[in-house]
Amino acid sequence: MEEHLTSLCRVIQKARTESGLTQEKLAAEAGINPHTILDMENFRGNARLDTLYPVVRALRIDANEIFYPEVTHGSTLQQQLQREIAQCNDKEAALLLKICRAALDAMRNETSTSVE
């Protein structure tokens, strides 16, 4: 199998595992046969775009993870957080931004205070 297909299969399996989905649940969400997920994760076959697209969307995989796997895209937790944020509408994102900034300020102030 070509390197880019192997990389894609690894990204799909990693994202599915991190999201806590079984192969069957992912297949149901993507509207495809569970054996297709099994084949992808075991590097069998060459999935078509109309099969890959709903899988990548269901897992909220960033295109950079697929096309630039050699680049570090942050920790696993950062990637999961980015996937969640990407699904927010503008109102939700604005609220989360305020919450995130306040939480980070509080944590960083607590850390700097306790070090002194």
Cα gap 69→4, rounded to integer Å: 9
What share of the chain in percent tops pLDDT 70?
90
Q: For position 65, what pLDDT does the model report?
A: 81
Domain count, the chain: 1
- CB distance 16 to 26 below 8 Å: yes
Amino acid at 26: L
Distance CA 58, CA 32 (A): 11
CA distance 21 to 15: 9
Burial class (CB in 10 A: 0-12, 13-18, 19+), 30: buried
Separation between Cα atoms, residue 74 and residue 22, nearest integer Å: 24
Q: Is residue 54 domain-resident?
A: yes
89 occurs within a structural domain: no
Any domain includes 11: yes
In a domain, 102, yes or no: no
In a domain, 33, yes or no: yes
Q: Where do we find the tokens 């109102």?
A: 91
* 93 domain-assigned: no
Q: What is the pLDDT of residues 59-109, one digit of tens each?
A: 988 888 888 777 666 677 887 788 788 889 999 999 999 999 999 999 999
Is residue 100 included in any domain, yes or no?
Answer: no
Each residue's pLDDT tens digit, 6-61? 788 888 999 999 899 999 999 999 999 999 999 999 888 788 889 999 999 999 88
Alpha-carbon distance 116 to 111, whole Å? Answer: 9
Task: Extract long-range pairs of 100-106: CB within 8 Å, 24+ residues apart.
Answer: none
CATH code, 68: 1.10.260.40
Cβ atoms < 10 Å from Cβ of 36:
20
pLDDT tens digits, one per residue of 57-71:
999 888 888 887 776
Domain assignment of residue 67, given as a range: 3-73
